[in-house]
Each structure stands twice: as C-alpha cells, then as structure tokens.
Structure 1
Amino acid sequence: MSKLKWLLLVTVLIYGWSTPGRYLWLGVLSPTDVGLSLGVDQVGRLLVVAASLQILLKRLTSNEVFSSFYLFLYPLQYFSNARVRFAVRFALTLQVAESLLESKLGFKALLSLILQPQPAACHTIELSYIPINRLQLGLLFGQGALVLYSIFLGMDGFWR
C-alpha cells in the first residue's frame, strides 16, 4: 500500500509542476492550477482502478480469474490457438507472481532472482475453466452495451 501512496504523490507532483497553466503563487517552484486539477483527476482514476483490482483479487479464486481472462480472450479463438496460449501464459505468470509475493524478498534480491537464468522446468499444472451462466452473460452484455452507449454519447457531443 505504501508504494501506491508514492505513486499517487508522484502523479500529482508531475502533473502539478509540469503542466502549463496559471501559477498558484509567484516563484520558480510554483505548481499550476490546471496541473494540480489534472493530477487530482488522474489520482482519482488510479484509485478506482486499484480499488476495483483489489476487490476482484480478494473475491475471486485463481481459477475464476483464469476463467475470466479466458472468456475475455474469446475473439482470439480464430487465430490458431492464440487464446489458449495467452490464457496459459497468464496463469503461469500469476502463479510465479504469487510465489514471489509470498517470498517477501527485497528489491535487489528479487531483481537478481528475476535476471538469473532459470532451468527449464517440466511440471504439470492443472487449470480449470468455470463456465459463465446466463445471468453473468446478461450482465456482461449489459455492461458492454453501456460502454458502447457512453462512447456513442461522447462522439455525439454530450460530454462537451
């Protein structure tokens, strides 16, 4: 959580002191009003993304996350097994990331572990796909329709 605080602080600082606009006070080290406004907007977006990701990862099991990713990649099924390859790579990446997070290594130790060549391991993992039910499918199409409708409204000029 402390890394997220630093990211949010740096985002406000970068936007506040690098975006043109009216300076808030006289001096060389003055932020701009437009920059701080844009920085706060971006921080709000980052908080929504981080909170929604945290909720998803706390409420879903690894099989449910894999199934969601596999469903999301549905359009790739027409390209010679690309859907399966992406889904398996995603699952393996999640597995390695979980094991690295559980080890609680420092940054230097983690970087040295990542950069050293790993021996080719041949082990079997089991991935189970949880199919989507009709209610979830309806909600998915409803969310897609809302996204398309908001894009339509934005292109129509409602957001000016």
Structure 2
Amino acid sequence: MWLLLLLPWLERHYLWALALVVVLVAAQYARQRLLRSLSKLKWLLLATVLIYGWSTPGRYIWLGVLSPTDVGLRLGFDQVGRLLVVAASLQILLKRLTSNEVFSSFYLFLSPLQYFSNVRARFAVRFALTLQVAESLLESKLGFKALLALILQPQPPVDHALVLSYIPINRLQLSLLFGQCALIVYSIFLGMGGFWR
C-alpha cells in the first residue's frame, strides 16, 4: 500500500531508482514468478507506451503524422516504471505469503466494513480466490488466444472446498501496522509539500 500511494508523487529519477531496486530484489527473491508475470504483462506495457506516446500533446519526435510526442513517450515510460514496481513488489509479497496469510491481511484491511453484515468476509474470500486463480493462470503456459478462450468459456461448478482460516495478528504486528500507516500518511504529506519532486 505504501508503494502504491508513493508512486504518483515520485519524480522520474526517484521513480526509476525505486523501480530498479524493486525489480532487482524481485529478480533475486522471486525470479520465476517475476519472469512469468512480466511475460503476461508485456502487451500491457507496450500498449501503455503507445497510448501515451501517440495521444499526449507535445513536441513531435520526427516529422510526420505518425510521430509520437516527447511528453507522451516520457509519460508512457514513467507509467511503465510504476507498473513494474507494482508487479515486482506483488511477486515478492505473494512469494512470502500463504493463502491464509493473504486472506487474513485483506480481512484485517477491510475491518472498517465489519459493521455491514458479512461484506468484509465475502470481499476477503473473493480477493483470495482471485489471487489463487491469477496464480494458476500465471503458471500456465497458455498463449493470449488460449487464455482468452479459457476465460470466456463457462466455468464448471466447483467440486472441491477451499478452507481459509483467519490468522490473528499479535501486538508486534499491530504496532508494525500502525507504523506503516503512519509512514503512508507521512509520505502523502511530504508529497503534497513537493518533497518527492
């Protein structure tokens, strides 16, 4: 959460330094997961550069109708840097956490919804199931067309049960959580003051 909230405030040099560090850590700690996720994201990254490069006003790179703009390419590559940070940090996180820990984290994160019936538990279970399906799709060797066909076809009813148990946090983890929340608020405060520029 801290990385996601920090990314919009960062100038280019901070952004690319952070992207380099996070991708290198992910390559060291979760190399196979990172390579699988980047192979699935390559078209999104390319489309991001193309959309920004050819739709943002600015100075044209070369003469002609099909020329991208300098501002567009810069914004497109910055967005690619943000996506790389998110993808790499997510692979580090998912390498470290089990399904029950992911469910418990999201369940804790949704604690403000505890007053609305069982919405909190349903959201947490759906998030854990989505991550599990995304994980199985990442591990598959399917191409884009086969993957799209698999997603669009009707899914058979589930014939097995998935048991997720909530793991309560201890006092040390709770203090770390409050420290992270304070870091997030402080980073936003610094961003509004122009510290990251």
TM class by smaller structure: 0.7 to 0.9
Structure 2 residue matching 1:25: 3-state secondary structure: coil
2:115 to 67, 78, 83: 78
- Please give the per-residue CA displacement for 1:36-65, whole angstroms capped at 9, x wherever unaligned: 111111011000000001111112111111
TM-score by length of 2: 0.68
1:16 aligns with 2:39: no
Contact 2:49 2:76 in 1 (8 A): yes
Task: Please say which of residues 89-98 and 27-36 is displaced more in the overlay.
Answer: 89-98
Aligned twin of 2:103: 66
1:2 to 32, 35, 39: 39
- Please give the per-residue CA displacement for 1:55-112, whole angstroms capped at 9, x wherever unaligned: 1111211111111111111111111121112122223334444455566555555555
Q: 2:49 & 2:60 partners in 1: Cα distance?
A: 15
Change over 3 Å in CA distance of 1:10–1:143 after alignment to 2: same
Q: Give unpaired runs (5+ residues) of structure 2.
A: 1-37
% identical equivalent positions = 88
Aligned twin of 1:47: 84
Aligned twin of 1:57: 94
Contact 2:40 2:138 in 1 (8 A): no
Aligned twin of 1:125: 162
Aligned twin of 1:36: 73
- Please give the per-residue CA displacement for 1:103-160, whole angstroms capped at 9, x wherever unaligned: 6555555555544545655753321122223332222212211221222233345566
Task: Please say which of residues 116-125 and 134-143 is displaced more in the overlay.
Answer: 116-125
1:140 aligns with 2:140: no
Q: 2:75 & 2:47 partners in 1: Cα distance?
A: 13
Larger-gyration structure (1/2): 1
TM-score by length of 1: 0.81
1:154 aligns with 2:191: yes
Change over 3 Å in CA distance of 1:153–1:15 after alignment to 2: same
Equivalent residue pairs, number: 160
Change over 3 Å in CA distance of 1:80–1:66 after alignment to 2: same
Aligned twin of 1:91: 128
Please tell me the root mean square deviation across aligned C-alpha atoms, in Å.
Answer: 2.6
Q: 1:32 & 1:136 partners in 2: Cα distance?
A: 48
Q: 2:192 & 2:130 partners in 1: Cα distance?
A: 37
Q: Which has the higher contact order (CA 8 A, sep 6+)?
A: 2
Task: Please say which of residues 5-14 and 31-40 is displaced more in the overlay.
Answer: 5-14
Change over 3 Å in CA distance of 1:106–1:123 after alignment to 2: same
